[in-house]
Amino acid sequence: MELNQGLAHCLSHDVHWEYCWDYEERLEFIKQEKPPEEQALRLKLLQIVPDEMIPGRDSEEWQSCKQAGEARERAWQACGRAWQTWQQAWQD
């Protein structure tokens, strides 16, 4: 199973570990926005760590982080739907 979100290695410049909300989106960003000479290394290093390999994954803090990520994703999707509705209203 391929993960699209979770703890990531080398998601951003000079940050070794941070939470990635959308792995596929980040890959596309690197391909489109980063200098060509950086792309191969960035794409090679960027990895999502499977939950079962994360120490403390059963902790309250990690569960809260995952829940916040899921809530963020739902809010982002709702924002997209609201934007589409707004655009449609202006066209009618």
Summarised one tens digit per residue, pLDDT across range 25-52 is 999 999 999 999 999 999 999 999 887 8
8 and 48 assigned to the same domain = yes
Task: Give me the domain span that covers residue 50.
Answer: 1-54
Domains: count for the chain: 2
Tell whether the model's pLDDT for residue 1 goes beyond 50.
no
64 and 84 assigned to the same domain = yes
69 and 81 assigned to the same domain = yes
69 and 82 assigned to the same domain = yes
74 and 42 assigned to the same domain = no
46 and 3 assigned to the same domain = yes
The residues near 22 (Cβ < 8 Å, ≥ 6 apart) are 4, 5
6 and 17 assigned to the same domain = yes
pTM over 0.85: no
48-54-57-63 Cα dihedral, nearest 10 degrees: -20
Tell whether the model's pLDDT for residue 75 goes beyond 50.
yes
Say what the pLDDT of residue 51 is: 79
How many helices (H) and strands (E) the chain has is answered by 3, 3
Q: State how far the Cα of 84 lies from the Cα of 91, in Å rounded to an integer.
A: 11
Say what the pLDDT of residue 2 is: 66
Q: State how far the Cα of 67 lies from the Cα of 61, in Å rounded to an integer.
A: 10
